Structure 1
Amino acid sequence: MGFRVTVPASTANLGPGFDTFGMALGLFEVIELRVLDEGVLIEPIDAGAGDVSDVPTDESHLVVRALRRACEHLDVPCPGLYLRCHNTIPHARGLGSSAAAVVAGVAAGYALAGKSVDAAALELAAELEGHADNAAASLFGGLVLAWQDVRAGVSSWRAERLDPHPGIRPVLAVPEQRSSTSAARGLLPEHVPHGDAAFAAGRAALGLHALTTDPGLLLPGTEDRLHQDYREPAYPATVHLVRQLRERDVAAVVSGGGPTVLALTTDGALPEGVDLTGFTAVELPVDRTGVRVAAL
């Protein structure tokens, strides 16, 4: 028994939608999985992500951990595994590489159970990933709104999938520099001024309208006061590039936890005269399908 699991990269936050907005991108991790009688054999392949020497090849691999958890949830035997992992999404760049690995494992577990991914799959992925924005985007594709629902003292992760406006053409400026999500998050204050919170709520609502209906409002709809400026010490070149682009009326934001810059354009290009030293610019389409599983 074997499967090929294809998982899109993702970008999160999209400016003011901190820990809530996510969007799937047309850059894919491909995991080929075969069932063994016992043991774990992992073959990592650098398919564009850069150095994969730090990728574990034992039970600690994120795909294996997620698959084991999904099999436990679905009450199916968790066999020995052979994984051939085509690592395409750059690691530690704010493009959802860890979420993609988790989603690949969860989807593989569902495939072993003969089921399609569902809302419970999001719960499993978010449990391992820590939050649901990137995971939901990789699972369901398109634009997602993720939140944590708490009822009777029990919390669960939820997500709503929306269709981004077809005129939006994301351009990513990907640096060589890596960034730790936890370190960048550690720079955030425990409290923000009430005025900034109110500003963020309004801009998030406007951003959702711009992303789905009116791309002409993307510049004001991606303005942020909650997290990007606080994180500048972790990646000053990233924040500087965001400011350069916004000064030229480009709706640019930090992608996820950084340090990649996401520019939401309508023409697939960045303006001339912008200093991209240290960054590689690439246009990526919005992925509208999410994770795919096919038999080998």
Structure 2
Amino acid sequence: MSGQRVKVTIPASTANLGPGFDAVGMAFQLYSVVEMEISERTTVELVGKELQGTPADKSNLLYQVAAGLFAEAGLAVPGLAIRASSEAPLTRGLGSSAAAIVGALVAANQLAGEPFTREELFDRATALEGHPDNVGAAMFGGIIVATMPQEAGETVPYVRFTPPVGLQALAIIPDFMLETQKARHVLPQVYSKEDVVYNVGHSSLLVAALAQGRLDLMGRAMSDRLHQPYRAKLVPGLTEILEKATEHGAIGAALSGAGPTILCFFSSEEEKRQLSAFVDRVMNGHGIAYRELILQPDDNGVQVEIHQR
């Protein structure tokens, strides 16, 4: 397939949505692009400020994932010319590693002659990422509800559905990175029965509310006791925003993935205006520089273009 150049566009994503820890993901119209073709030697070109500091050699995640796919398909690993760009900031809780994994898998699979189905690529992406929510949203778009398989080698069970009409998110992106490993390290090993039951109820209500477009229930449904309270010390302003955002125009609020990005959902211009002013007061009060993005849900997932050389 050396005559092909494959261009893959992958949406950013959020995970957890409050109580849906490692189980609920949503895709956004904020994109990464991976271009890949077979070449005599491997090159990695990284475009744009969001990818600054990422390795531009064979240690790059894109190459590692692509090479792994060729090997798993029983093919010799070729030289690959890879070009990548991203609108989504890295290590901010918007699924940058999931987008890279999905993009590399889909592009390499195309160059390898499509030995794997999209579902099989999702299974591999989940194994590489360690949880299915971000990679599921990046792969399929929309809202994904999924769980890790009980046995190695089993397929990942998931349900995908379209986000409610009118749902948008105000993303508050603090001007600092937060590694997922660090954000996971602050979580306890053991939880009380009360907290577990609380989250089961809230995550179940959240999924039902999203599936039926019950935006009126999202504020209460997005409450969480498993990860957000413990990560609040790593993200200044998070506690105030989670507690008060619904009093200032938000339908619901959550830490995006492991953070530090915070999402406040809304459905009207007036809600957005109120929210923006509230968030600005909170973040300025903590002396935290941040940027604001308005995110629309993506309902398409990964998109592929093939160019013949």
Consecutive unaligned residues of structure 1, counting only runs of 5 or more, are none
Q: CA separation of 1:178/1:239 partners in 2, compared to 1, >3 Å: closer, same or farther?
A: farther
Which deviates further from its counterpart, 263-272 or 17-26? 263-272
Kindly provide the CA deviation profile for residues 66-112 of structure 1, in whole angstroms up to 9, marking residues without a partner as x. 11122222334431111111122101100000110011110012211
In the alignment, is the contact (CA less than 8 A) between 1:171 and 1:270 conserved in 2?
A: no
Among candidates 11, 14, 18, match of residue 8 of structure 1: 11
Secondary structure in structure 1 of the residue aligned to 2:69: helix
In 2: Cα distance, 1:70 partner to 1:267 partner: 44
The farther-off stretch of 188-197 and 245-254 is: 245-254
- Alignment deviations for residues 171-224 of structure 1 (CA, whole Å, 9 cap, x no partner): 211111110111111111111111111111111111012212111111011111
Give the aligned partner of residue 279 of structure 1: 290
Counterpart for residue 33 of structure 2: 30
Please state whether the residue corresponding to 1:148 is helix, strand or coil.
coil
Q: Partner of 2:263 in structure 1?
A: 262
1 CA distance for matches of 2:106 and 2:298? Answer: 17
TM-aligned CA distance change 1:198 to 1:280, over 3 Å: same
Matched, 1:108 2:111: no
The alignment partner of 2:148 has SS state of: strand
Moved more, 279-288 or 17-26: 279-288
Which residue identity is paired with 1:22? G
Check conservation: 1:63, 1:105, Cα contact below 8 A: yes
Contact 1:174 1:259 in 2 (8 A): yes
The residue that corresponds to 1:188 in the other structure is 187
Larger deviation, residues 269-278 vs 86-95: 269-278
Deviation digits for residues 138-179 of structure 1 (CA, Å, limit 9, x no counterpart): 00100001211225x765533221122122112211111110
In the alignment of these two chains, the number of paired residues is 291
Question: 1:1-296 residue pairs with structure 2 within 5 A?
Answer: 1-37=4-40, 39-46=41-48, 49=50, 52-115=51-114, 117-151=117-151, 156-213=155-212, 214-248=214-248, 250=250, 251-267=252-268, 269-271=272-274, 273-276=277-280, 277=284, 278-296=289-307
Identity of aligned residues (%): 32
TM-score (norm 2): 0.88
Q: How much does 1:275 deviate? A: 3.6
| In structure 2, distance between residues paired with 1:87 and 1:172 | 16
Q: Which residue identity lines up with residue 105 of structure 1 in the other structure?
A: A
Gaps of 5+ in 2: none
SS at match of 1:165: coil
Give the conservation status (yes or no) of the 8 Å contact 1:69–1:124: no
Aligned residues of 1:76 and 1:112 also touching (Cα < 8 A): no
SS in 1 for 2:149: strand
Distance across 2 between alignment mates of 1:156 and 1:150: 9
Assess, with a 3 A threshold, how the Cα gap between structure 1 residues 24 and 172 changes in structure 2: closer, same or farther.
same
Q: Match of 1:203, as an amino acid?
A: H
Q: Is the 8 A contact 1:167 1:215 kept in 2?
A: no
1:98-145 CA-partner distances (Å, limit 9, x unpaired): 110011110012211333742211121122212111011100100001
Q: Which moved more, 1:130-139 or 1:233-242?
A: 233-242
Q: State the AA in 1 paired with 2:20.
A: G
Equivalent residues of 2:12, 2:99 under 8 A apart: yes
CA RMSD in angstroms, aligned pairs only: 1.8
Matched AA of 1:258: G
Q: Cα gap change, 1:227/1:249 in structure 2, threshold over 3 Å: closer, same or farther?
A: farther
Q: 1:185 to 1:203 in 2, by over 3 A?
A: same
- What is the CA–CA distance in structure 1 between the aligned matches of 2:20 and 2:71, rounded to whole Å? 33
Counterparts of 1:223 and 1:93 in 2: how far apart (Å)?
A: 21
1:188, 1:231 within 8 Å by CA — same for their partners in 2? Answer: yes
Q: Is the 8 A contact 2:36 2:108 kept in 1?
A: no
- Aligned in 2, Cα 1:26/1:117: closer, same or farther, shift over 3 Å? farther
Looking at structure 2, the residues matched to 134 and 117 of structure 1 have their Cα atoms a distance apart, in angstroms, of: 19
